[in-house]
Amino acid sequence: MKSNDLAQSRRLSLKARLKRVLGPAGVFFRGFLEHPRMVGSVIPSSRTTINAMLDPLDWSDCKLFVEYGPGVGTFCPHILDRLPRGGELLVIDTNPLFIDYLRKTFGDSRFHAVLGSAENVEEIVKSIGHEKADYVISGLPFSTLPDGVGENITAATYRVIREGGAFLTYQFKGAARDLTAKHFPRVETGFVWRNIPPCILAWGWKDAASADETQA
């Protein structure tokens, strides 16, 4: 073996060993380094944040749950555990590193990992056989997204969510909450201290139209 081939082999071997040692945390950190503006934090969300976000939802008839920016899937097992029989989870990310990792990690037939932009959520939802989503959760850093992208994502999210569903965000700044309030008629907020860093929670509810609104 030539010296440069041997050096390349050693580098690949070291990379593989580091990946095994660091596990999902290493993948997450690498994703943050490669795309810092698209990853909300260098550290995955805490269990306290996960439960605070998911517990208020009605899971009994959830057919499709969507997640933007899943990272290494910190929320995914908790969502899958809550889904009823027949419910599905769709995750969307622009980072191929994360999508590749998720496809290899989650073998659940209810799980769909798609490489793409949340701006195209309507088309992506239709591509897996659904018209609407019950709930959408986003960990995308809205305050650092390119101009107009956050607005486009929020508008598309409102359109794709069924009546009675909700858009969930957890952020370190108020940008996502404020954008949600522009599109969703009812927004509830919360705050979790036991997260690094502490974060702002928001649930934008797409309430069913009243009889008066329907007839107007």
Mean pLDDT of the chain: 83
Say which CATH superfamily domain 47-215 falls into.
Answer: Vaccinia Virus protein VP39 (3.40.50.150)
Residue 21 has pLDDT above 80, yes or no: no
- CB distance 69 to 93 below 8 Å: yes
| Residue 129 pLDDT level (bands cut at 50, 70, 90) | very high
Average pLDDT over residues 101-121: 95
What six digits make up the tokens of 1? 């073996």
Task: Tell me the per-residue pLDDT of 37-83, one tens digit each, with 9 for 90 and over.
Answer: 444 444 556 888 999 999 999 999 999 999 999 988 999 999 999 99
Q: Does the CA dihedral 59-71-74-41 come out positive or negative?
A: negative
| Residue 14 pLDDT level (bands cut at 50, 70, 90) | very low
Looking at the DSSP assignment, which residues form a beta bridge with residue 90? 66, 112
Q: Which helix (H) or strand (E) holds 159?
A: helix 149-160
- Higher pLDDT, residue 137 or 172: 137
Task: Tell me the per-residue pLDDT of 173-191, one tens digit each, with 9 for 90 and over.
Answer: 889 999 999 999 999 999 9
Average pLDDT over residues 114-140: 97
pLDDT of 103 reads 94
pLDDT of 46 reads 84
Q: Which among 132, 102, 129 has a CA at the least distance from the CA of 114?
A: 102
- CB distance 130 to 63 below 8 Å: yes
Specify the pTM: 0.79
Q: What gap in Å lies between CA 143 and CA 149, rounded to an integer?
A: 10
Q: Which helix (H) or strand (E) holds 205?
A: strand 199-205
